[in-house]
Amino acid sequence: MKLFQRFGEAPVWVAGASPLAGRVFASLRRAGRRVRVVALAELAGLKSGACRTLVLADPPEPESLVAGLIRRQGSGRGRRPAPLRLILMVQADPPPLLPDLDPAGPITLETFAIEDRAARVLLERWPLHCGLDPCCDQRPHLLVAGFAPPARALVVQALRLMPYGEERPAITIIGTDPAVQARFTGAYPQAGQVADLRWLAADLEGLAALPPVTQVLVCAAASAAGPDDAIAIAIGLAQRLAADQGVSPPILLEVGDAIPAGRPADWDGQTFPFSYLAEACRPQVLLDGRGDALAQTIHEHYTDSIAAQGRDPEREPAGRPWSTLTTSYRDANRHQADHIWAKLAVMDCRAVPEERVGSFAFAPLEAERLAVIEHLRWAADRHLDGWSYAPVRDNARKHHPQLIPYRDLSEPMKDLDRFAVRGVPTLLARSELGVVRMLILGIPEPPTALPADAVAAGLQRLAEQVLDRLAARYPDRTLVFAATLAEPGARLITRLALDRAAAGLFLLCPQPIAHTLAAQPDDAARRELLELIARAERRISLPAPGEPARWFARRADIQLLVGSGPLENAGAKRVLLDPVERRVDWNFDY
């Protein structure tokens, strides 16, 4: 059905600067969209109704171009066709000053900041908590090498998403030109209110003394050598972080058009190449509003609350329909929506299709903890827009009396944050999503390695039995397995869980990933490890002595022990899988 609907759709017109217009055309064409490239000069003769969707790819003099289109589209007589959807792509926010549009007029106008939209998509795919455990007092620390696009947008988006608790997050930027530093601090003078912002010399002197790095961004300027320079930077950073801090965080690597090819065995388990232009030009992002569904739900929830009070939402600037909402109000909804996934991570929850779960509500203490985080998120958004504290609000000077710690807010002000976080399950439900809690199943490394034949012969059937019983015992939880994956037994159980039970995976890293890979006995084991690492949703560094054992004791709801011998009847819930004796022992009622 969708194929016939797509075939019958009017083509998308693309005009603007080259090579961006060509990139948009190619991306839409690859996705099966009907698309046509037109010269900017042809738009002077564009008749009302001739085009349904027009993408202007970073054109010169966009203000006059858009004004001319508005004038010509509104000059026709007779029956008015459907409005022209005009998408103006610009490199970055803020967009140019454009004419105000009549909501009932012949054009709907959307500005699309390429770097900023790509940053949202990329940090949705690799959220800041993919390299840490916010429930174990780990705080985000983003390390940035190079400040070519989209580094600025990614840093700003990271600052918006960094509140996971009252511990201050950190961003360290390496070896940047003083002029770049001056431009960034001039544009975001309040960024230091959100996180510890450091500018580190290119020799990385002092890196070992900094908080553990949890994510790396490499945005080196393009060179004649292609992506090789950027790849070399990523490799060097991985080695330096392993040596100085004992960590191996995810490394996001901007490579432009040159996405490296290779086999899983060629991968280091740590570096993820991307092209921000390719991300932004995907039709799901450019045309279909990927990432905006939840933001639109938040907006609809807001307009419904205004209507419930007997007021007309469309009489208020923030209450207009999404299609005519100004960029600033759309962005406010987007920022609130983007942070929901961080809040779920703090609560060991995730969103799943609504039909898989029942009703959900945060406990009072959980809601209060999230209210603190929501206030930090709101304050970060205000600070990044240039606002600062003052006892009396002054919009012209961007002064706000609520830019204070949550504990110092009045109860009515705290209630605003509490209301926002209590409404998260409702907002997700309006997007056909439900909230479910995780059940974390830890697999500690056995004190002595099991013979490979014993693992292969007996462990799979025991693991299947345990998985089936856990799924039946905890139907309202989503299973998440946590392991170093250094041993074949843990890999076997984890692979079964991912394939059979749609489980999640937390990769625990007591040593750098490169060391774990090097310790594997052969290429098959290394490849198996890499394939599982690619499916991990978190990479949690635990380099201090004894830290993995403390993590299991604190965070695992149930520990799965692979080995033989009697099962200790300790306070923690444990399950013993003994592939030699082919038995399973539980120290609790399941």
- The CATH number for 328's domain is 1.10.490
Which domain range does residue 41 map to? 2-113
pLDDT band at 447 (very low <50, low <70, confident <90, very high): confident
Residue 506 lies in a domain: yes
Q: Is there a single domain that holds both residue 160 and residue 241? A: yes
Q: Is the model's pLDDT at 362 over the cut of 80?
A: yes
Question: Which H or E run includes 533?
Answer: helix 523-533
Tell me which of 76 and 36 has the higher pLDDT: 36
- Provide the b/e sequence for 184-220 (b: ≥16 CB within 10 Å): beeebebbebbbebebbeeebeebeebbbbbbbbbbb
CA distances from 231 to 222, 260, 304, 414, 463 (A): 12, 10, 49, 47, 39
Hey, which residues does 171 pair with through a beta bridge?
142, 197
Q: Whole-angstrom Cα distance, residue 471 to residue 109?
A: 49
**Looking at residue 181, which CATH number applies to its domain?**
3.40.50
Q: Is there a single domain that holds both residue 161 and residue 228? A: yes
Secondary-structure percent of the chain, ordered helix, strand, coil, rounded to 5:
45, 20, 35
Report DSSP state, residue 339: T
Q: Is there a single domain that holds both residue 314 and residue 374? A: yes
Q: Is there a single domain that holds both residue 45 and residue 151? A: no
Q: Is there a single domain that holds both residue 107 and residue 219? A: no
Q: Is there a single domain that holds both residue 56 and residue 9? A: yes
Q: Whole-angstrom Cα distance, residue 170 to residue 159?
A: 9
Which of 408, 433, 458 terminates a domain? The answer is 433
Q: Whole-angstrom Cα distance, residue 65 to residue 55?
A: 12
pLDDT above 90 as % of the chain: 73
Q: Is the model's pLDDT at 375 over the cut of 50?
A: yes
Which of 433, 459, 492 terminates a domain? The answer is 433
Is there a contact between 540 and 133 (Cβ–Cβ < 8 Å)? yes
Residue 281 lies in a domain: no
Q: Is 431 exposed, middle or buried (0-12, 13-18, 19+ CB in 10 A)?
A: middle
Q: Is there a single domain that holds both residue 404 and residue 380? A: yes
Q: Mean pLDDT for the chain?
A: 90
CA distances from 524 to 333, 388, 453, 529, 562 (A): 47, 56, 15, 9, 21
Q: Which residues contact 567 (CB under 8 A, 6 or more apart)?
A: 561, 574, 576, 585, 587
Q: What's the domain count of the chain?
A: 4
Q: Where are the alpha helices (DSSP H) in 49-148?
A: 62-73, 114-125
Residue 397 lies in a domain: yes
Which of 59, 88, 113 terminates a domain? The answer is 113
Q: Is there a single domain that holds both residue 465 and residue 412? A: no
Q: Which pLDDT score is estimated for 80?
A: 61
Q: Is there a single domain that holds both residue 315 and residue 205? A: no
Q: Is there a single domain that holds both residue 41 and residue 103? A: yes
Q: What is the largest CA-CA distance in the chain?
A: 87
80-134 confidence digits (pLDDT tens): 667 899 999 999 988 888 877 776 778 888 899 999 999 999 999 999 999 999 9
Q: Is there a single domain that holds both residue 20 and residue 65? A: yes
Is there a contact between 541 and 247 (Cβ–Cβ < 8 Å)? yes
In this structure, what token pair is assigned to residue 147?
């400040």
Residue 458 lies in a domain: yes
Side-chain half-sphere exposure of 564, counting CA atoms within 13 A: 12
Q: What is the dihedral of CA 238, 240, 243, 246, to 10 degrees?
A: -50
Q: Is there a single domain that holds both residue 29 and residue 160? A: no
Residue 523 lies in a domain: yes
Residue 285 lies in a domain: no
Residue 266 lies in a domain: no
Residue 533 lies in a domain: yes
